[in-house]
Amino acid sequence: MKPIVILISGAGSNMTSIVQAAQQRRWAERLGAKVVAVVSNRPDAEGLAWARAQGIEGVVLDHKAFASREAFDAQLQTEIDCFEPSLVVLAGFMRILTSGFVQHYQGRLINIHPSLLPAFGGLNTHQRAIDIGCRFAGATVHQVTADLDHGPILAQAVVPVLPHDTAQSLAARVLTQEHLIYPQAIEAWLSKQPSAASNA
């Protein structure tokens, strides 16, 4: 089995789309992969209840209880490693991760960002795209590296920026594409990984 751990901070709509794709496309049977845990840094994250209702273990690790980013990431790594993940998926996890954490999961840590990277890394991506007159925006699935919002690109989706768009309306349109490309990118990544049987 290729265990998948998903990290969220809120409603977890991308997490939901990934779990539903895993069920509908029979990742367990076809790819030997399963979402085994959802971890949140916020106890009130709405996505936790949904995940638990699907029979997925929900783990809370409140970052406010830790004195430093390094201390939180060290404990987060310990919690994740309990599941021996083949893939760690950031799905609206609103934390900047330390280089040590990223290095530990190098090659098996992915994220989705609401812009067409390398353009508009960081926050406020939609308003920044509108402000400079972009005609297109989108989302990018990428491997996570120590450089924020960089790393090899796994998938992208493009949406038009409409004349009367606000940051909110553009974000909503981009999000619908995120829900499509994130599960697709994960499935493509999983299909390239050797199974346990082939390693035996």
By DSSP bridging, strand 153-160 and strand 136-143 are antiparallel
Residue from 44, 54, 43, 45 nearest 17 by CA: 54
3 state DSSP class of 2: strand
Which amino acid, 44?
A: D
Distance from CA of residue 116 to its chain's centroid? 16
Query: What's the burial of 34, exposed, middle or buried (CB within 10 Å: 0-12/13-18/19+)?
Result: middle
Catalytic machinery residues? 113
Q: What is the dihedral of CA 31, 20, 149, 71, to 10 degrees?
A: -90
Sign of CA dihedral 75, 78, 79, 85: positive
CA distances to 6, 34, 176, 182 from 122, rounded to whole Å, are 20, 30, 20, 19
SS3 (DSSP) at 61: coil
